[in-house]
Amino acid sequence: MDLSLTEEQKLIVEMVKRFVRDEVAPLEDSLDPDEDTLPPEQFDKLVAKTKEMGLYGLGIPPEYGGPEVDITTNTLIAIEYSQHRAGLYAPCYGAFGGAGLAQMFEATEEQKEKYLYPTLRGEMKTFFGLSEPSGGSDPARAIQTRAVRDGDEWVINGSKLWISGADQADYGLLFARTNPKEGRGGVTCFIVETHWPGFNVRRIVHTLRQARHATEIQMEDLRVPHTNILGVEGGGFAIANDRLTRQRIPYAAACLGPAFKAHEMAIEYSQIRETFGAALSSRQGIQWMLVENEIDLRTARWFVLDAAAKADRGDDFRTEAAICKLVASEAAGRVIDRSMQIHGGLGVAKDLPFERWYREIRIRRIGEGPSEVQKHIIARDILGAGLR
C-alpha cells in the first residue's frame, strides 16, 4: 500500500497540526489537568476556526452539511487533533463537531426531523445504550433488557452499564431484546428520550479515566412509541455492529495522536536531560526504548491507514478495523509508558500530560470492543466465520 499523502492531505494535516499547537494547547495551561470542557467563549472561538478551515462536522456526510473528507483523510486528522493533553478523551474539546449517532442517518424522515437535524445543529446531545451489567463484549447474547409490545408502544425494562453521556443526553439509542427466542435477530434498536417516565440514570460510574460521563441507566416500564424503532424490529444487532466496526478506525487513529506526541516529547527530553555527565540519549537503554516507540508507532499507523484505505475503496474492512484497533490501542499504551519512564519523576507529575494519557489509554484497550474480542474477530476471519 502506498502511504504517501496527496498534496491536499499534506495541507490539511499541517493545518490541523498548527491549530492544535497554536489554538488548543495554549488553553490547557490554565485548565485543571483533568478538564474535558472549555468555557463557552473559548469553545466557540475554536469552532469558528474549524469552520473556517472547512473541517467542522467530521463524520457528517456532505449531503447533511459535513465536509467532503474521505475516511483516510479523516483518519489522518484524528491522529493530529488528539495530540494534546485532553486528546484521548476530548480531542480539541469537541471543536471539530461530529456526527453524533451515525446510525441516525438511516432514520426515517420523521425521526431525522425530530432528532438528527437538531443534533447536527448542536441543539441535542445523545448516548449509545448497548452494554449491560451482564456483559458488553457479546451483545447479541448478553442483552437482557426486555421490550414487550403493548399496542402502539413498547414497554422496556432492564439496565445498561458503561453508557457515556447518558446523564447529559436528550435522547439516545437503546438496544433491547424483543424476541427472547432469537439471538442476534431478537434485538431491536429504540430511540428513547431521557426525560420520559421510566428512564433513570442510576449512578455515575467512577473509572480510571473521568467519572463524569460513564453511567449506569435503569429502565422501569419505559414506554416507547413503535414509531421510535430505528430500522426494523429485530435489526438492532446489525445497527450496533455497523457502528462498532466503523468507529474502530478513527478510535484507533485517536489512540496514536497522544502516543506520537509522547514519543516526540521523550526524544526532546532525552537530548537535554543529563545524568552522570551525559545526555540520556547517549544511553543504550534509552535509545532502545525510543527505537521500540518508533517501531510501534510506524506499525500501528500502517495498520490504521490500511483499514481506512480499504474502507474508502468500499471493500469489507471488518478484519482490518479489528486489527488496527487492537494494534493501535496496545502500541500506544506501550509508547506512552516508555515515554513516561524516560521522563522519570516528571512523567508521573500532573505538570505533564503523560499520567493522564496513561490512565486514558488503558481504557482504550477495552472501549469499542476489548483486545480479546478483536483477536476473536481476526481469528474468525483466518479460520472461518463458523468459529464461535
Pinpoint the residues of the chain covered by CATH 1.10.540. Answer: 7-102
pTM: 0.91
- CATH placement of domain 7-102: 1.10.540
Residues forming beta bridges with residue 219, ordered by sequence position:
158, 199
User: Which listed residue (216, 320, 330, 368) is catalytic?
Assistant: 368
Superfamily of domain 126-230: Butyryl-CoA Dehydrogenase, subunit A, domain 2 (2.40.110.10)
CB atoms within 10 A of CB 43: 16
Distance CA 130, CA 5 (A): 37
Q: In this structure, what C-alpha cell is assigned to residue 46?
A: 475554536
Please state, in angstroms and as integers, the Cα–Cα distance from residue 17 to each residue in 76, 81, 261, 296, 361, following that order.
11, 7, 11, 21, 21
Within the chain, all domains assigned CATH 1.20.140.10 are found at: 238-383
- Residue 8 designated active-site: no
82 is written with which cell numbers? 488528539
Selection from 179, 235, 166, 176 nearest residue 205 by Cα: 166
Domain 238-383 -> CATH class: mainly alpha
Rounded CA separation 158/181 (Å):
17
pLDDT in tens for each of the 388 residues of the chain?
A: 677 899 999 999 999 999 999 999 999 999 999 999 999 999 999 999 999 999 999 888 888 888 988 999 999 999 999 999 999 989 999 999 876 678 888 899 999 999 999 998 889 999 999 999 876 556 666 799 999 999 999 999 999 998 988 999 999 999 999 998 887 889 999 999 999 999 999 998 888 865 456 899 999 999 999 999 999 999 998 888 776 777 899 999 999 999 999 999 999 999 999 999 999 999 999 999 999 999 999 999 999 999 999 999 999 999 999 999 999 999 999 999 999 999 999 999 999 999 999 999 999 999 888 999 999 999 999 998 655 5
